[in-house]
Amino acid sequence: MEKAKSRRQRWGIVVLTVGLTAVGAISTMAAPPPLIPRKLLFGNPEKAQPRLSPDGTRLLYLAPDKGVLNVWIRTAGKDDDRVVTADTLRGIRIAFWAEDNVHILYMQDKGGDENWHIYAVNLKDNSVRDLTPYENVQASPVATDPSFPNELLVQMNKRDPRAMDLFNINLTTGEARLVGENPGNVVGWVPDNNFKVRGAYAATAEGGFELLVRDNEDEPFRSLIVWGPDDQGQPYGFTPDGTAIYVGDSRESNVSRLKAIDLKTKQETVLAEDPKVDLGDVMIHPAKHHVEAVSFNYDRNRWRVLDSAVAADFAVLGKLGEGEFSIVSRDHADHRWIVAYDTDTRPARYYTYDRDTKEPAFLFTTRPDLEEYDLAAMKFVEVTTRDGLVLPAYLTLPPGVEPKNLPLVLDVHGGPWARDTWGYNGEVQWMANRGWAVLQVNYRGSTGFGKSFVNAGNKEWGRKMQDDLTDAVRWAISKGYADSTKVAIYGGSYGGYAVLAGAAFTPDLYVCGVDIVGPSNIMTLIAAVPPYWQPLLRLFHHRVGDPATEEAMLKERSPLFSANKIRVPLLIGQGANDPRVKQAESEQIVAALKASEQYVEYVVYPDEGHGFARPENRLDFYGKSEKFLNKYLGGRLEN
């Protein structure tokens, strides 16, 4: 689901987060629905990610050209669609307007190596310029601003692979001017409302974070807030007058709350909070810079309006559909919005919305052919663990069959500092359509449910975090949903680790497992992190373990060293260019399994990284996964 952004684009900071609620009555059909072709679920969308130009006269979106996702534009109210980029390999997945109405900016890497380049398309002459033409350098946008239409703030590590410096790039000339040199601990930069760098988000030696601020760019930074490794906090931007800064902060609370903190006095004002969950999306006015609305998400995402000027708009949008909505694009005048709707039983839908008339108009759905099929409903449930922790989870049952004694796939989210949410999920729909129940569990260590829930996962990889998954499976069996002899575990990244850990540490619980880019040895995982993650290693040591002092524990929690205990067949998928979980993580567990004569299927994609982006590779791997899971779970199979 797309998240709300202000017109001043903020890409933020990437930081490497048996009682139950009744499922309710579930109607059954006379027969299972038609088989959904994998191509409709995992091929390219027909259209995606629409964005209004700043002047509101044009629209960009992503769509295939010759089978590869590229950037298209059209004039509002016309059918003059044309493609403006010419990617022929990996496809473009991130694109946005510059504030000048002339340039479209997009990001691309090589084969999934995550060394992102930022490109600018000049719509006057269709020329394309690489704004960050540096080898083995990762670049990412930080902000644009309507008052500075010819400029872009970008962070990149071209001076030092370990440090993201901040640059102001001129869109006309391509000149990159250093405006923030990273001393080594900064993981994100915060510009003020005059596009000056007056905030920095830095990692601390203790594994926490510190918010640094200054009154102008000629002064040194000073400390405003220090978060310990067990706290949660992040900046969202400066208040309209620039004297305070908006932050999410959990220091005096279990949950992250929205605050405005005065830069000089440090006086704090709580603007929004929820006693149960952390702050979610924060919607800030594009020109006036005040907070308009925030969201909170326990089972579903719900908005709370803080600015009465948008109350009527949110009331209209809340009645438009049964799904969750978010504002994903706005024009400079703030008269026109693009609104995304997400629901569990259909792919994303987009609408344009006129704030003057309060009239929404349907724009497109991402996968229109999929709307002809019956998709499975996702139900929120709660699972209580053996030590009394309540896990928010989602259960999806295959339509058209009695919800009893079903084959079950435990689908484990990655991160692990992330979470599962309600809404459309192509993998879940694929599994349910094949006849398998799907259980997604927010195990301890997942983010969004307060810091005590996150911290309950500290140094519990392979232990209590894995116990949560085991308890969830046993819950599904005890409730009669799952056949205890037909349970598979499936996941990517940390979810892939959980697959290997489940097979090694609870070998009698599962009949098979599918691991996608999952680490097998925590020691080698930590040793091989990308250089730009170096400032975050102390946090990783705090949450997972320190190889220098906890080697025995980390080896014990690493599936590689218990590979001889694995008795269930595994399918392992890996991207050769993965910078986070290197190919060696999969190679070493595959070698160990083969040495002990355990069954394993292994596939490596030479043009992929941390996950599979190219539709050809996705379709190939999901085809292999479907045959593999069908062999051990039964169900339906596409030829």
What's the angle, vertex CA 338, arms to CA 335 and CA 342, rounded to 5? 145
Distance CA 602, CA 614 (A): 18
Task: Say how many C-beta atoms besides its own lie within 10 A of residue 568's C-beta.
Answer: 21
Residue 493 is a catalytic residue: yes
Using a 10 angstrom Cβ sphere, with 0-12 exposed, 13-18 middle and 19 or more buried, the burial of residue 550 is: middle
Report the C-alpha gap between 199 and 282 in whole angstroms. 18
Residues 404 and 410: their CA atoms lie apart, in Å, by: 16
CB-CB neighbours of 215 under 10 Å: 14
Active-site choice (493, 562, 586, 625): 493
End-to-end CA distance of the chain: 31
Cα-only R_g, the chain? 24
**459 φ/ψ sector (left φ>0, alpha ψ -120 to 50, else beta):** left
Provide the angle, in degrees to the nearest 10, between the axes of the packed helices 615-633 and 426-433. 40
**Nearest residue to 18 via CA among 482, 483, 468:** 468
Collapse the DSSP code of 472 into the 3-class scheme (helix H, G, I; strand E, B; otherwise coil) and give the result.
Answer: helix
Q: Is the bond preceding 220 in cis, omega lying within 30 degrees of 0?
A: no
Question: In this structure, are strands 176-180 and 186-191 parallel, antiparallel, or unpaired?
Answer: unpaired
- Contacts (Cβ under 8 Å, ≥6 apart) of 136: 115, 161
Say if residue 242 is exposed, middle or buried (CB neighbours under 10 Å; 0-12, 13-18, 19+). middle
CB 459 within 8 A of CB 466: no
Separation of alpha carbons 500 and 503, rounded Å: 5
| Catalytic residue from among 344, 578, 586, 625 | 578
b (16+ CB within 10 A) / e for 45-55? bbbbbbbbbbe
Please provide residue 501's backbone torsions phi and psi, each rounded to the nearest 5 degrees: -65, -40
Tokens for 307, please give them.
Answer: 């600015």
- Euclidean distance between CA atoms 214 and 191, whole angstroms: 11
Task: Output the CA–CA distances (angstroms, integers) from residue 379 to 22, 299, 447, in the order listed.
Answer: 9, 9, 20
* 354 is annotated as an active-site residue: no
Catalytic residue among 285, 332, 542, 610: 610
Is 542 labeled as catalytic in the residue annotation? Answer: no
The pair phi, psi for residue 586, each rounded to 5°, is -80, -40
Q: Which residue, among 101, 96, 99, has the nearest Cα to 75 in the 3D structure?
A: 101
Catalytic sites, residue numbers: 493, 578, 610
